[in-house]
Structure 1
Amino acid sequence: MYIVSLHYAAALEAIDALIPEHVRWLEAAYADGLFLASGRKVPRSGGIILARAMPRAELEQRLAQDPFSRHGVADYSITEFVPSMTSPALACLQEN
């Protein structure tokens, strides 16, 4: 599993102009089963995406298609981890 941390590298006006296209990109990744959760940081300096386990190159390729990436308005940090313990509600995320 991956935690992707986005940090905005442009003014919020530039981010807001790309939100509809970014949301369509997110929806496609959810439809493909790649993303598990996403949302904005508080304060609004970027966002977080939880992505299922996959080859890192596949995730990086998908992130490169994000309108925020294509327009250079966000930077991405990727952290891979293996969820070995979860609450019962998130047991489906555990990896062996």
Structure 2
Amino acid sequence: MYIVTLKFSVNKSNAPQFMEGHKAWIEQGIKDGVFALVGSLPDIGGGIIAHNVSRDELEQRVKDDPFVAEQVVTADIMEFLPNRADERLSFLLPQG
């Protein structure tokens, strides 16, 4: 599992121009079963919890985000190894 932070960058003011592409990118990540949770980090940018993906695949997916490609945000990917979860989130725990 990974936590991705998307922090506003040098081209933050261009966000409206690329918003529709960014939203489509998010929807595709959810549809593909990779993005489990997506939301805002007020005054910073956004955050994503990703799973069911290798780091290499996630890095490529993040590069494909129009916000990243156009330097609206910079992305940081951190690996997260959960070992406990509320029953409702148990699907996020490693199987086996």
- State the TM-score, normalizing by the size of structure 2: 0.89
- State the TM-score, normalizing by the size of structure 1: 0.89
Q: Kindly state the Cα deviation for residue 16 of structure 1 after the two structures are TM-superposed.
A: 2.4
AA paired with 1:49?
A: I
Q: Kindly state the Cα deviation for residue 11 of structure 1 after the two structures are TM-superposed.
A: 5.5
Cα contact 1:2–1:53 (8 A) shared by 2: no
For 1:79 and 1:40, the matched residues in 2 are separated by 17
Give RMSD over aligned pairs: 1.4
Task: Between 11-20 and 64-73, report the one with greater CA deviation.
Answer: 11-20
- 2:21 corresponds in structure 1 to 21
Question: Any stretches of 5+ residues in structure 1 without a counterpart?
Answer: none
Superposed, 1:1-96 pairs within 5 Å as 1-10=1-10, 12-42=12-42, 44-96=43-95
For 1:24 and 1:74, the matched residues in 2 are separated by 16
Q: How many residues align?
A: 95
Deviations along 1:5-39, whole A, 9 cap, x unmatched?
11010354311222111000111111111110101
Partner SS for 1:59: helix
Question: Any stretches of 5+ residues in structure 2 without a counterpart?
Answer: none
Task: Between 60-69 and 13-22, report the one with greater CA deviation.
Answer: 13-22
Kindly, what percent of the aligned residue pairs are identical? 34
